[in-house]
């Protein structure tokens, strides 16, 4: 799947919940713990990494390949698969030279606008609150339509393209902890 998304930094999520509730159905709340691994030096922000997300009875490995930004809306081709034996998987990637370089923790309040289109209210540990508009599409030719729909929904909150935070959470966390 291709993930098309935009996120906005907010101070008070409660002021947006009322608008979100008119547009989307609440799907639940979930804590997400993500560990990021890279083959590159962990002394600088890596060009490539993979994410391992912990679930109650399994883990998912995720790798994202970015497309260029348009209208400040990001698109990434996602490769994702389930891992049932995380200990052996971690031994395997360690043997290949992968090193843990970052952990991200967030609590997500998920709202579904329509199939494959969600709004998340995320509290990211160390960064604060964000609204994230995420549209999943199967083909690259659908990215433009998804970007337009995201910008349309964002406008209902009085957000503009310039309000979008272009850096990913990992980049924001990395910059916060490596200011020097």
In the chain, % helix, strand, coil (3-state, to 5) comes to 25, 45, 25
Q: Using only C-alpha atoms, what is the Rg of the chain? A: 17
Dist CA 40 CA 48 (whole Å): 8
Pairing type for strands 117-124 and 59-70 reads unpaired
**What integer pLDDT is reported at residue 180 of this predicted model?**
55
Enumerate the domain spans of the chain: 2-175
The model's pTM:
0.92
- The total number of residues written for the chain in this structure: 180
The structural architecture, per CATH, of the domain 2-175 is Beta Barrel (2.40)
Note down pLDDT in tens along the chain; length 180 residues: 999 999 999 999 998 988 899 999 999 999 999 999 999 988 889 999 999 999 888 899 999 999 888 888 999 999 999 998 999 999 999 999 999 999 999 999 999 999 999 999 999 999 999 999 999 999 999 999 999 999 999 999 999 888 999 999 999 999 998 875
């Amino acid at each position: 799947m291709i993930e098309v998304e935009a996120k906005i930094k907010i101070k008070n999520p409660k002021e947006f919940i009322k608008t979100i509730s008119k547009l989307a159905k609440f799907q639940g709340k979930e804590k997400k713990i993500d560990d990021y691994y890279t083959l590159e030096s962990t002394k600088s922000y890596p060009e490539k990494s993979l994410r391992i997300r912990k679930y109650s009875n399994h883990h998912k490995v995720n790798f994202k390949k970015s497309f260029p930004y348009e209208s400040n809306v990001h698109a990434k081709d996602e490769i994702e698969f389930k891992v049932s034996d995380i200990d052996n998987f971690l031994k395997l990637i360690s043997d290949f030279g992968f090193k843990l370089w970052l952990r991200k923790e967030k609590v997500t309040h998920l709202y579904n606008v329509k199939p494959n289109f969600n709004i998340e209210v995320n509290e990211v540990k160390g960064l604060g609150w964000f609204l994230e508009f995420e549209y999943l599409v199967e083909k690259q030719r659908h990215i433009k339509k998804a970007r337009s729909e995201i910008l349309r929904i964002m406008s209902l909150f009085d957000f503009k393209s310039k309000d979008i935070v272009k850096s990913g959470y990992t980049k924001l966390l990395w910059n916060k902890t490596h200011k020097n």
